[in-house]
Amino acid sequence: MSTSSSVPACGLPDADDAPLPAALVSVRPTRLGGPARGDEEWVAEEVPIALEYNGLSHAVMLATPLDLEDFALGFSLSENLIASPADLLDVEVQARPQGVALQLRVTARCELMLKERRRSLAGRTGCGLCGTDSLDQVFRPPTRPLPPVPVDREQLIPVLSRAMRELAEAQPLQQRSGGIHAAAWCSPQGEVLMVREDVGRHNALDKLVGALARAQIDTAQGFAAVTSRASFEMVQKAAGAGISLLAAVSAPTHLAIRTAQACGLTLAGFVREGRATLYS
């Protein structure tokens, strides 16, 4: 299988003016059986993304090289590495031969906290708790109560169905490759207002959380929809961002349900056209 061309990534500058890796790569595979198709197809790229805080290496995640500033902020907030967007002073995106480095400059208070809880996190696509070295680090309840769900229960089915329908239409990388997850921010009427895509479902949600924080969007005025199962960490990231309703196209885990119940988050799974299952 040979690589032929690529789709450009987000075009963010880096220190050496080297191009960032592509989000999608064109390949020419050998097909065995099945209906005849064209010789070329697009596949999603996975790139090691290193997050370095004030020069300290903290995490390496495999992710799609798009919306990396959103990812840097969302990951930092979701992992409680910073307390607010104001704690992230600057992000420099550097393309390197082995991948991409995100040089994050944070406040002195956050740097001290990072040094105290420093851990090694080797990320994999879909990784949840990689590198957590203590059970005490797993459960992080929201720092503030979640707002009321912005959708009437009687309207949940049409609202959630609209959100999933519009989300499916708002994923250009997924439409070309078939290998990308997405997380969307939706209005109380189910209109998709913002979408972030990534090969990892956690990364997509981190990017959405970062984009919401950068845009200073009130998370009481909408809900999140994701194209994946609802794992524990997806629920925890949503609750930590102040999102009171998380809608997933697939199943939740039992730990995700228990966490949603403890946080007061409304969790909907198996959200398809005309149906959904409420777990909390």
45 neighbors 10 (Cβ within 8 angstroms): no
Listed residue (47, 46, 49, 53) closest to 80, CA to CA: 53
The one catalytic residue in 10, 110, 127, 130 is: 127
- DSSP-derived pairing of the beta strands 47-53 and 99-106: parallel
186 is catalytic: no
Backbone phi and psi for residue 235, each to the nearest 5 degrees, phi listed first:
-65, -45
How far does CA 135 lie from the centroid of its chain? 23
Closest CA to 182 of 170, 121, 190: 170
Joined together, the tokens standing for residue 112 give: 């001290």
> 190: Cβ–Cβ under 8 A, 6 or more apart, which residues?
158, 159, 160, 161, 162, 163, 166
Say how far apart CA 245 and CA 234 lie, in whole Å.
12
CB 163 within 8 A of CB 195: no
Structure tokens at 17: 């003016």
Q: How would you label 151-172 residue by residue, b for 16+ Cβ within 10 Å and e otherwise?
A: beeeebeebbbbbbebbbebbe
Which residues belong to the active site? 127
